[in-house]
């Protein structure tokens, strides 16, 4: 059986399916992986953007907003690709029950995946919050302020520091989202990795938790990962191309049954 047909079969057999996505799914929408050649960390030193430096240094805050605004300018133009759209369609069909993502770009939501079924482990760049009073803004509003010359935006309510709702180096992972991700991974029947190198912890442990609890594990990624030997199926290639083929198999199977 061809790989897409096998994934389609396993989707049909699973009553709890988790899709776990990393940077590789969004590179197909034109968003460079921060760690890849040409990504932000080839231009900036990530050690300069720790949460502690953001809190303690005005210069660090200025550099952070310069870097973050550059990144958001790219993300704001990006559109969901075939992989995002396929995941959303499979959710509407009742075949995908949760999406856990390491990505901060919000493309799953733009593709139509239900917000209540998405766990964003590293936060989102689509909103900005005050670190003091927690007032929140749409990112576009603050983005325009920075482009207009405001180097370090401050809260108009309390004067506190504003920061995109992403998890920075040295910043604690969101407790509720992390706990929920581990819980559903331990209860699922099928765990599908898309576009993740599976090196960033604690997220990289989720496929292991799922597999050890008895789930089937599928890894779709352009490059090898250290968990390939654990997987029930490894597909080396484009997330978009693969998921288009999987969705086609699912649709054809449903049409044949009608």
In sequence order, what are the residues at sequence separation of 6 or more whose Cβ sits closer than 8 angstroms to the Cβ of residue 122? 102, 103, 104, 166, 167, 203
d(C-alpha 65, C-alpha 49), whole Å: 10
Q: Estimate the crossing angle of helix 239-257 against helix 3-13, to 10 degrees.
A: 60
H or E element, residue 220: strand 216-221
Cis amide bond preceding 188, omega within 30: no
pTM of the model: 0.92
Q: What is the pLDDT of residue 38?
A: 58
Measured between alpha carbons, how far is 147 from 159 in angstroms, rounded to an integer? Answer: 20
Q: Among all residues, which ones are annotated catalytic?
A: 122
Query: How much is the pLDDT for 170?
Result: 86
Cα separation of 232 and 208, whole Å? 12
Q: Would you say 224 and 24 are in contact if contact means Cβ atoms under 8 Å apart?
A: no
| Domains of the chain, earliest start first | 1-31+79-122+172-258 (3.40.50.1220), 48-77+124-166 (3.30.1600.10)
Q: What is the spatial distance between Cα 64 and Cα 68, in angstroms, rounded to a whole number?
A: 6
DSSP state of 58: H
* Residue 78 backbone zone (phi > 0: left; psi -120 to 50: alpha; other: beta): beta
Structure tokens of 118?
């998405």
Reported as a single tens digit per residue, the pLDDT across 200-239 is: 888 999 999 999 999 999 999 999 999 999 999 999 999 9
1 pLDDT higher than 90: no
pLDDT of residue 41: 57
pLDDT at 33 (0 to 100): 74
Q: What is the pLDDT of residue 255?
A: 84
Alpha carbons 215 and 222: distance in angstroms, whole number: 22
Over the stretch 7-48, which tens digit does the pLDDT of each residue have? 999 999 999 999 999 999 999 999 987 655 555 655 666 677
In sequence order, the 6+-apart residues with CB closer than 8 A to the CB of 52 are: 170
């Amino acid at each position: 059986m061809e790989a897409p047909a096998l994934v389609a079969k396993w989707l049909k057999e699973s009553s709890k399916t988790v899709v776990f996505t990393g940077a590789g799914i969004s590179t197909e929408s034109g968003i460079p992986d921060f760690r890849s050649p040409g990504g932000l960390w080839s231009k900036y030193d990530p050690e300069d953007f720790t949460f502690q430096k953001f809190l303690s240094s005005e210069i660090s805050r200025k550099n952070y907003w310069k870097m973050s605004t550059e990144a958001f300018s790219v993300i704001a133009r990006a559109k969901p690709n075939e992989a995002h759209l396929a995941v959303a369609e499979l959710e509407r069909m009742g075949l995908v029950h949760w999406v856990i993502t390491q990505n901060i770009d919000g493309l799953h939501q733009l593709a139509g995946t239900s917000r209540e079924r998405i766990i964003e482990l590293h936060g989102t760049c689509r909103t900005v919050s005050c670190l003091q009073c927690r007032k929140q803004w749409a990112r576009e509003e603050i983005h325009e302020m920075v482009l207009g010359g405001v180097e370090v935006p401050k809260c108009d309510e309390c004067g506190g520091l504003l920061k995109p709702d992403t998890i920075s180096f040295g910043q604690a992972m969101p407790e509720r989202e992390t706990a929920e991700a581990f819980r559903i991974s331990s209860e699922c029947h099928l765990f599908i990795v898309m576009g993740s190198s599976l090196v960033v912890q604690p997220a990289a442990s989720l496929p292991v938790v799922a597999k050890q609890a008895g789930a089937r594990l599928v890894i779709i990624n352009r490059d090898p990962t250290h968990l390939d030997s654990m997987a029930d199926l490894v597909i080396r290639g484009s997330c978009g191309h693969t998921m288009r083929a999987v969705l086609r198999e699912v649709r054809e199977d449903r049409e044949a049954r009608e």
